Each structure stands twice: as structure tokens, then as C-alpha cells.
Homo-oligomer: A and B are copies of this chain.
Amino acid sequence: MRMDRITSPEFESTAANGPLVILPIGATESHGIHLPLGTDTFQAEYVAGEIEKRMNNVIVAPTLPYGNHSSLKNVPGTVNVSFDALRSFMSDVLISLASHGIKRMLIITGHAGTSHMAAVTEACRDVVSRKDVKIMFVSDYIIAAECEEFRFEGDGHGGIIETSRMLDIGPAIVKKERPSGKFADSSGIILKDASSCIPDGIVGDTSKADAELGEKINNYIVGELIRRINEVLS
């Protein structure tokens, strides 16, 4: 059930059944020469959509397509929302959902930058301290990256995992190029322009990416999340 496609009375009667509301957070961020700016959005929406297909009593709320960025905020096409604005916006959205009786929420963020995650986490903490609601906040990217099976040496932003997943989700918007790049650690230096940490625009060797792997990763993420929902969010 897509929240934007149902009416107010439909929402009201569904809300009375204790549904899980999934809120995808995407991003508009440079993902190299081969992946689209909306990569994080497409991934989070895909995962949300699959969970909705496979489970009952799920409402997918409209995607927030902008996030907070550090490393790549100055790279063309990245739209950066400040820590405070993202935190406040998310806090308001969640409080509003809770005020309508929603008790279970799953927030899936495609983008997994540290400050971005911290901003949304702070928003969630604010909400659980004010409302009687259970919130799970995860990054689909981190779920994949933490899985032993998908730990590719030196893989990261726009790398093997992300490229493979996009080849599964939306091959038509993945370009032919398969770039390769390395993360350049700053040793703790806070950089004015942190794009120097990702000098090649992406991190990882995307020549190793393919749609089959992407499908496997996407399925793993969806399965893992369904497992967690059943375990701690139902």
C-alpha cells in the first residue's frame, strides 16, 4: 500500500490495524560517471517496495529524496541538506505519523554518511522520547556491506555493491563505464572540501559488478529486513 495513493479514510482504517509504515530516505548525490544521482533513492524505494510486496499490513510513505552530505557535497549534482534541517524535517514527519496512531515505523536510508545517519538518528531519538512508537532505522547499504558474503576489499560509495544493485534495480539508468576508485583517508583531518577523500568519485572496482550479484544483494537486504521486522518490530 502506497500512502500517497490511498485516501484519508483508507489510511485511517489501515492505521487502526497496527500497520508498519516504511519511510524511504533517498539522496540526490554524485555516484560517479556511471550511476545516477538518485541511486540512493532508487535503492531505498526498491527495498521498501519489496518488503511491502512480501509482507502484510505495510504502508510505504513517500520518499524523502534529499539528505545530508559531507564528502561529496561540492561535487556536481549533490543536493545537500544541513544536519539541522534534515533532523527537524524527519522529526516532524515521524511525529505526525505517530500522532495518527502509527506505532511501528521502519526508516530505510539509501545514503549512509555518518552525519546523515546521526541526523536521522537524533530525530528518531527525539520522537521515541515524545511518542509511544517503535522505530527501526537502518541503511540498506550498511546491511549489505556488513554481510560477510558481500565484503569486497576496498569497496564503498558507488562501488561493487551499489553498482550491482543498480544493475538489478534499474539497468537502463546505469552507464556503460565501469570506473574504479580508492578511498583516501584523511587521518582525522577535518577537510574544508572532503571530496579529496573520494578523488575518483567512487570507491571500489566496479568492473566486478554485475546484475546477478546485485539481485543476490538486494534479496539479502530484503530478507534480512523482513527477518528483523518479524523479530523485533511486530
CB distance from A51 to the nearest CB of B (A): 14
Residue-wise, chain A 209-234 has the 8 Å CB interface mask toward B (1 for contact) of 00000000000000000001001110
Q: Is the CB of A62 within 8 A of B65?
A: yes
A32 touches B5 (CB 8 A): no
Q: Which residues of the partner chain B approach A81 to less than 8 Å between Cβ atoms?
A: 89, 92-93, 96
A-B contact pairs, 21 of them (CB 8 A): A4-B36, A4-B41, A5-B173, A8-B32, A8-B76, A12-B76, A41-B62, A61-B79, A66-B93, A78-B96, A78-B100, A81-B96, A83-B122, A89-B89, A114-B114, A118-B118, A135-B189, A136-B188, A137-B188, A187-B231, A188-B228
Binding site for B on A (CB under 8 A): 2-9, 11-12, 15, 26, 28, 30-38, 41-42, 61-66, 70, 73-86, 88-89, 91-93, 96-97, 99-100, 114-115, 117-118, 121-122, 124-125, 127-129, 134-138, 173, 175, 186-192, 201, 228, 231-233
